[in-house]
């Protein structure tokens, strides 16, 4: 164990903040907000420490901490980080304090809201750090409950329906995965340790069934078509913070799961089914793009765009090339930044107009020129404009997939055209043209971006531009770990 358990401190700082808030007086709303923000910021500082210590030349797990948890069953508190999980951890700790700031005006059950969001952060971080399957499953299920409450209590009109649908879908897939974990435990030497299970020599026929068990959970979480139907409702009805974390982090757990667990644990099944993952990814790219074009609700449009963008990630993973998979990991980060920013902007627009219907809005640029410029900047990053973050990931994915699966790469490239259509057309309808705005005092309602809002958006805009211009710091840490996974899969085939 390291002399300073940096991963543990980063992991449990939000939970400590939640415990402190629990003992804070109910009417101390400002103190609750400050504690929540400080706890999430402390976790972000810890993740920056992880980044500074991380050795980009090392492909394996680093900063590993391992303590016996349930010795009789072989379960342990085993956490670590590599180039694949590093950026997921940073993305989580980066978006959470932004989400808390975005929820500064929440007035309903303020204590409970901030406790929920901090517990959710610990659950998300645990998923990306865990190197023990039982520990992973505890965190995987643990973050399901706070997200359920966030949608169900602080969501919009159909929040109960959306929360129950999200919970049932996710729980159903998780229970199937739990059965697969139990079977893997018994045939893998009665251990939950991920590093010991890699290369365990599981018969190919058994691998197929276990791969399917993990697939059930990860496919729903991504979500892969046709398991996506919970996503638009959850995104649309969730509060802004819930939408940002759901799109920015939770969806990546499915694609991360394929890279961390499904493919390296079951190499024969992974190689056999990887092309089908790519096929499902391309279906998601085209389907999500087409459905986004016809959406009438701006938030629902952004929600369906996630189906399309996560399809690119699946395409890169399914190619099983170093370039394509590296692009997929980078694109997970890119999607979290761009789509998280879009949900923030839609939330700010809703606060002013009290509507998300595209038909009810027009000419917003006349009243909010700075806001309109920021929205266009983020939309361009989401559709993959060269010089912004989305281009780098999509280029690597399509280029990496072209060698082994050229037809799928070509079809997937049309998704970029579709994203340009639905994003720019939505921008044209909402922000340009003659003013068609809700009645009221337009000066107070249609104020431009304020200081707090700019403080929320500025870090995201800087990150979007930085990755687009200089992605090397991310790529040089991702690629060695990706190459290690690909080589492990090839070497452990039976």
For the segment 109-156, what is each residue's pLDDT rounded down to a tens digit?
999 999 999 999 999 999 999 999 999 999 999 999 999 999 999 998
C-alpha dist (Å) from residue 490 to 224, 254, 318, 375, 484:
25, 22, 14, 43, 10
Q: Residue 371's CB: how many other CB atoms inside 10 A? A: 24
| Structural element, H or E, at residue 81 | strand 75-81
C-alpha dist (Å) from residue 72 to 66, 68, 76, 135, 192:
16, 9, 10, 15, 12
pLDDT at 235: 87
pLDDT at 361: 86
* 317: nearest Cα among 203, 389, 387, 393: 393
pLDDT at 367: 85
pLDDT, averaged in runs of 10, over the chain (494 residues): 83 96 88 95 97 93 94 92 96 96 89 95 96 96 92 91 92 94 91 90 91 94 87 89 92 94 94 94 95 94 93 96 96 96 94 87 88 96 94 96 95 95 94 70 69 92 97 96 92 66
CA angle 302, 233, 177 (to 5 degrees): 105
pLDDT at 353: 84
Can you give the three-state secondary structure of 45-80, one letter per residue?
HHHHHHHHHCCCCCCCCEEEEEEEEEHHHCEEEEEE
CA angle 88, 151, 118 (to 5 degrees): 45
CA angle 85, 21, 127 (to 5 degrees): 15
Whether the Cβ atoms of residue 268 and residue 493 lie closer than 8 Å to each other: yes
pTM exceeding the 0.85 threshold for the entire prediction: yes
For the chain, count helices (H), then strands (E): 23, 2
pLDDT at 1: 44
Q: Which two tokens stand for residue 400?
A: 């990496």
pLDDT at 438: 58
Bond prior to 226 in cis (omega within 30° of 0): yes
pLDDT at 362: 84
pLDDT at 441: 47
User: For residue range 25-74, what is the model confidence (pLDDT) as tens digits?
Assistant: 888 888 999 999 999 999 999 999 999 999 998 999 999 999 999 988 88
């Amino acid at each position: 164990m390291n002399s300073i358990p940096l991963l543990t401190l980063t992991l449990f700082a939000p939970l400590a903040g939640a415990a402190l808030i629990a003992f804070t007086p109910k009417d101390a709303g400002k103190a609750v907000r400050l504690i929540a923000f400080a706890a999430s910021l402390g976790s972000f500082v810890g993740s920056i420490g992880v980044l500074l210590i991380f050795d980009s030349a090392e492909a394996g797990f680093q900063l590993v901490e391992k303590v016996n948890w349930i010795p009789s069953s072989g379960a342990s508190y085993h956490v670590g980080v590599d180039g694949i999980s590093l950026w997921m951890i940073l993305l989580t700790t980066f978006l959470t304090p932004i989400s808390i700031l975005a929820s500064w005006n929440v007035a309903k059950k303020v204590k409970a809201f901030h406790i929920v969001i901090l517990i959710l952060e610990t659950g998300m971080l645990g998923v990306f750090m865990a190197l023990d399957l039982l520990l992973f499953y505890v965190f995987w299920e643990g973050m399901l409950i706070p997200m359920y409450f966030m949608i169900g209590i602080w969501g919009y009109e159909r929040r109960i329906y959306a929360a129950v649908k999200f919970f049932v879908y996710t729980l159903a897939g998780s229970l199937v995965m739990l059965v697969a974990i139990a079977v893997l435990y018994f045939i893998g030497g009665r251990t939950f340790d991920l590093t010991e299970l890699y290369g365990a020599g599981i018969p190919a026929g058994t691998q197929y069934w276990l791969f399917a068990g993990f697939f059930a959970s990860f496919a729903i979480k991504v979500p892969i078509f046709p398991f996506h139907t919970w996503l638009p409702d959850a995104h649309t009805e969730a509060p802004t913070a819930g939408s940002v974390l759901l799109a920015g982090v939770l969806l990546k757990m499915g694609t991360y799961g394929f890279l961390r667990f499904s493919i390296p644990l079951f190499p024969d099944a992974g190689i056999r089914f990887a092309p089908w993952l790519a096929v499902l990814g391309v279906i998601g790219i085209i389907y999500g793009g087409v459905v986004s074009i016809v959406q009438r609700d701006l938030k629902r449009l952004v929600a369906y765009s996630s189906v399309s963008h996560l399809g690119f990630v699946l395409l890169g993973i399914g190619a099983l090339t170093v370039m394509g998979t590296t692009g997929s990991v980078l694109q997970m980060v890119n999607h979290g930044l761009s789509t998280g920013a879009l949900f923030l902007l839609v939330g700010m627009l809703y606060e002013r107009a009290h509507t998300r219907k595209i038909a009810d809005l027009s000419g917003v640029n006349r009243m909010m020129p700075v806001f309109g410029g920021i929205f266009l900047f983020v939309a361009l990053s989401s559709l993959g404009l060269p010089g912004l973050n989305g281009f780098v990931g999509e280029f690597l994915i399509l280029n990496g997939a072209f060698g082994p699966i050229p037809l799928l790469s070509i079809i997937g490239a049309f998704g970029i055209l579709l994203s340009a259509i639905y994003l720019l057309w939505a921008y044209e309808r909402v922000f340009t043209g003659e003013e068609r705005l809700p009645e009221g005092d337009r000066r107070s309602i249609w104020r431009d971006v304020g200081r707090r809002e700019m403080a929320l958006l500025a870090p995201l805009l800087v990150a979007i531009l930085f990755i687009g211009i200089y992605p090397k710091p991310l790529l040089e840490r991702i690629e060695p770990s990706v190459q290690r996974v690909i080589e492990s899969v090839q070497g452990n085939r039976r």
